[in-house]
Amino acid sequence: MATEPRSEAPLDDPAVAASEYDTDYYLHSCIGADEWRESGGAEVAGLYPGVLTLAGMERGARVLDIGTGRAELVRVAVEMGAAEAVGVDYSPAAIEMAEETLRAAGNPPGARALLADARRIPVEDGAFDLVTMLDVVEHLTSEELDVSLGEATRALRPGGAIFIHTAPNANVYEITYRLQRRLWPGRGRRWPADPRNDFERRMHVNEQTMGSLRGVLRRNGFEDARVWLGRWIYTDFVPEERAKRLYHRLARVPLARRFAIMELFARARKPSS
């Protein structure tokens, strides 16, 4: 199924260099790292089957996972009945670990990992039923994301689906935290101006809200775009224990959940014609 890239023109350097995503990052700083690290790649986190169920993957589907990292989703997709699952990532460290993931599973037929930039993916047009992007959107600038979604559209068959997970929900940092910081009595130095950790500051160049993510999908020609909040409430960045309770209270109020829940999901469809 792999083909040569459509253009030989060099890509611009990515906003976040591939070297930022080193072995240490994949062993310690991204979802599913604990299960993978402690089992030497033999075990995968339960979120991957859950994601594919949410995405509506059917048996016999062909799946393209953009920003595959350690390729757990690729492995799980074929174990759940996908005819083919291809993971792409521009990090050499990711692909090395992806190959280890697949070896630990006995190199299941139909599962592959490719070293490739999300802006130029060496696959045929219309070859896939489902494209997944898990915790990738926030790592791409707006321009990079548009190009990558163009590649996703190209790779999908007419009527095929894209499924996205992204975190953080920008509202949590930019609205809820900032308002708390302004109003909390005696905040002093305990409330930093930017609550993000070091790797978020280096790697997150395009954090989303429900509205912005829906707009991105529509702008790139996808139909039936649905964006929803997950369940994850993350408060480690809040310096006061009492202040952390606000996020749990907001999460119980339907109209306020968007200011407390940290993760976003989205699903949309390539037009059928």
| pLDDT tens digits, 17-36 | 999 999 999 999 988 999 99
> Looking at residue 158, which CATH number applies to its domain?
3.40.50.150
User: According to the model, what pLDDT value does residue 191 have?
Assistant: 93
**Cα-to-chain-centroid distance, residue 219:** 19
Do residues 266 and 134 lie in contact, with contact meaning Cβ atoms separated by under 8 Å?
Answer: no
Give the whole-angstrom CA distance, residue 167 versus residue 175.
15
How many other C-beta atoms are found inside a 10 Å radius of the C-beta of residue 47? 17
Give the whole-angstrom CA distance, residue 56 versus residue 267.
9
User: According to the model, what pLDDT value does residue 9 have?
Assistant: 84
Tell me whether residue 208 is in a domain.
yes
Tell me whether residue 120 is in a domain.
yes
Domain count for the chain, please give it. 1
How wide is the angle at C-alpha 265 spanned by C-alphas 269 and 40, nearest 5°?
Answer: 110
Tell me whether residue 176 is in a domain.
no
User: According to the model, what pLDDT value does residue 159 have?
Assistant: 98
By mean pLDDT, which of 79-83, 99-103, 183-187 is the weakest?
183-187
Do residues 74 and 103 lie in contact, with contact meaning Cβ atoms separated by under 8 Å?
Answer: no
Tell me whether residue 133 is in a domain.
yes
Tell me: pLDDT of 5 over 80: no
Question: What is the mean pLDDT of the segment spanning 67-73?
Answer: 98
Instruction: Report the mean per-residue pLDDT for the chain.
Output: 95
| 154: containing domain | 18-170+203-238+263-269
209 Rama class: left (phi>0) / alpha (psi -120 to 50) / beta: beta
Question: What is the mean pLDDT of the segment spanning 106-130?
Answer: 98
Cis before residue 168, ω within 30 degrees of 0? yes
pLDDT tens track for 192-231: 999 999 999 999 999 999 999 999 999 999 999 999 999 9
User: According to the model, what pLDDT value does residue 169 have?
Assistant: 98
Tell me: pLDDT of 154 over 50: yes
Tell me whether residue 145 is in a domain.
yes
Q: What is the pTM of this model?
A: 0.95
Tell me whether residue 177 is in a domain.
no
